[in-house]
Amino acid sequence: MDYMVTELDDFLTAIGHPLRRQILETVYANPDIAYSKILTQVNISSGKLNFHLQKLDAFLSQDDVRYRISDDGLKLYSTWQLLEKRLSGTETPREDRHRLFFFRRVIAFFIDVALILALIFIAADLSALNLAPAWWLFDMPMPVFLTRILDLLFGYPDLIVVLIRAFVLALLWMYFALMEGYRGQTLGKMLVSLRIVDMSGARMQPFPAAIRALTKVLILPFDVLVGLFKSRKHGFLRFFGQYTRTWVVRGH
């Protein structure tokens, strides 16, 4: 009776050799990595590398001489990592991982917003660095720009305030779109060691980055609320994370 090769056989073949696991780890951590860099990092001969790359063909995508994890490779990598943690007894419950990422993402978001707002007010008027009694802290002396930020966020929305808010939202959108589209990280995400990648583990393209940034500055609470019901079971916190097929992973 002929033996039929199954997806499980391909899976076991791919992770059954330590060098292939090392190659997968290297490509996952370095999207669009060149063949020569894989050769250097794995430290084997080109003949051996070619052999193992052939065994991993179903789990890698290739553009000229650059490699990245394919969708099937991403599933393989996630399953292998989970299996390894279970066997070693170090697996973290899934809910705890979601909760950890949630708080880290919230912290990163507030760092970014506070930084951009502070720079705007300080650049517009250097006297914003001066200390003055703060109504929001029982008249204790605080930098003026902090009070101006709170006035902007919670003050009465007359025409001037509305225009300033629109200007600030536009700047925030450009900041998130450029930083996350260019390197997958804002300054806040760098500080908490997170980054955004597409489903193959590569850097986001400009259009998904712009969509993620726009929904973040305009409808973030709604985006997260819908994501909790529709997208969380697929591994996404935000609905527009699933829509753009991008997600947040541990950064470097």
Question: What's 68's domain CATH number?
Answer: 1.10.10.10
**Residues 246 and 209 reside in one and the same domain:** yes
Predicted local confidence at residue 174, as pLDDT: 96
Q: Which residues contact 107 (CB under 8 A, 6 or more apart)?
A: 188, 192
- Lowest average pLDDT, out of 80-84, 85-89, 126-130, 144-148, goes to 85-89
What is d(CA 52, CA 35) in angstroms, rounded to the nearest whole number? 12
Looking at residue 89, its amino acid is G
**Residues 34 and 158 reside in one and the same domain:** no
**Residues 129 and 53 reside in one and the same domain:** no
Predicted local confidence at residue 169, as pLDDT: 92
Mean pLDDT across 80-93: 64
The pLDDT of residue 5 is above 50: no
What is the total residue count of the chain? 252
Predicted local confidence at residue 233, as pLDDT: 73
**Residues 125 and 61 reside in one and the same domain:** no
C-alpha to C-alpha distances, 93 to 50, 70, 98, 100, nearest whole angstrom: 37, 26, 9, 11
Domain termination residue (choose one: 52, 68, 88): 88
**Residues 245 and 154 reside in one and the same domain:** yes
Provide the number of structural domains found in the chain: 2
Predicted local confidence at residue 228, as pLDDT: 85
> What is the per-residue pLDDT across 170-201, written as a single tens digit (0 to 9) for each?
999 999 999 999 888 999 999 998 888 877 66
Domain termination residue (choose one: 52, 73, 88): 88
Predicted local confidence at residue 99, as pLDDT: 46
**Residues 57 and 123 reside in one and the same domain:** no
**What's the domain range around 135?**
94-250
Residue 33 belongs to some domain of the structure: yes
The pLDDT of residue 8 is above 80: no
Mean pLDDT across 16-29: 85
**Residues 100 and 139 reside in one and the same domain:** yes
Predicted local confidence at residue 179, as pLDDT: 94
**Residues 179 and 231 reside in one and the same domain:** yes
The pLDDT of residue 95 is above 80: no
Residue 2 belongs to some domain of the structure: no
CB 145 within 8 A of CB 128: yes
> What is the per-residue pLDDT across 126-166, written as a single tens digit (0 to 9) for each?
888 899 998 888 888 988 888 888 888 777 777 887 888 89
What is d(CA 110, CA 21) in angstroms, rounded to the nearest whole number? 37
Predicted local confidence at residue 86, as pLDDT: 67
CB 129 within 8 A of CB 144: yes
- The residues that bridge with 143 in the sheet, in sequence order, are 131
pLDDT band at 4 (very low <50, low <70, confident <90, very high): very low
Q: Is the dihedral of CA 115, 118, 119, 120 positive or negative?
A: positive
Residue 138 belongs to some domain of the structure: yes
C-alpha to C-alpha distances, 222 to 10, 95, 104, 157, 219, nearest whole angstrom: 41, 21, 19, 22, 5
Domain termination residue (choose one: 88, 117, 145): 88
